[in-house]
Amino acid sequence: MLKGLIVALSLGGLTMVGALAATAADMKPIYTQKTKDVTVTLQSESGQWKEGKNEFVLEFTSAQDKQPVDVGKVSLNTSMAMPGMAPMVTGASLTSEGPGRYRGAINFADRGARQVTVTWDGPAGKGSTKFSVPVR
């Protein structure tokens, strides 16, 4: 009975690892931004952000050797200019999945171009970058 349980747990674990690997491989870049020593890549399954809830992955790699970079604490915020009004600001929730990889979620009430600001502070130093991404 114990042997059967071990086999079942092992197969379940392998299935989960396979699903996670497939998810990572299925990601398409939304935007890639090079800074001094770090390349920041925003990606999702569809390769774009849409109105409503969006799940995404944010990766930090070395600009030299493409290896993951431990950037420590990370934030991603977006803003959208509104004529005659204060900009709409939206923050993402981020969870670390290991050095240089963060899974995030963000919700957009409407379509339009967003100014994205990514900041980090950790072992690889402190930095930030800004770029524009459309919400379709």
CATH of residue 110's domain is 2.60.40.3340
Q: Is residue 100 part of a domain?
A: yes
Please return the burial class of 19, using the count of CB atoms within 10 Å of its CB with bins 0-12, 13-18 and 19+.
exposed
Query: With bands split at pLDDT 50, 70 and 90, how would you rate the model's confidence at 4?
Result: low
How would you classify the pairing of strands 93-96 and 101-108? antiparallel
Pure H helices in 1-136: 2-25
Domain assignment present for 22: no
Segment 43-52 mean pLDDT: 97
In a domain? residue 53? yes
Q: pTM of the predicted model, to two decimals?
A: 0.81
Which pLDDT value is given to residue 78?
A: 98
pLDDT tens digits for 68-116?
999 999 999 999 998 899 999 999 999 999 999 999 999 999 999 999 9
Give the end-to-end CA distance of the chain in Å, rounded to a whole number. Answer: 53
Amino acid 71 reads V
Look at the chain and report how many structural domains it folds into: 1
Residue 136 pLDDT exceeds 90: yes
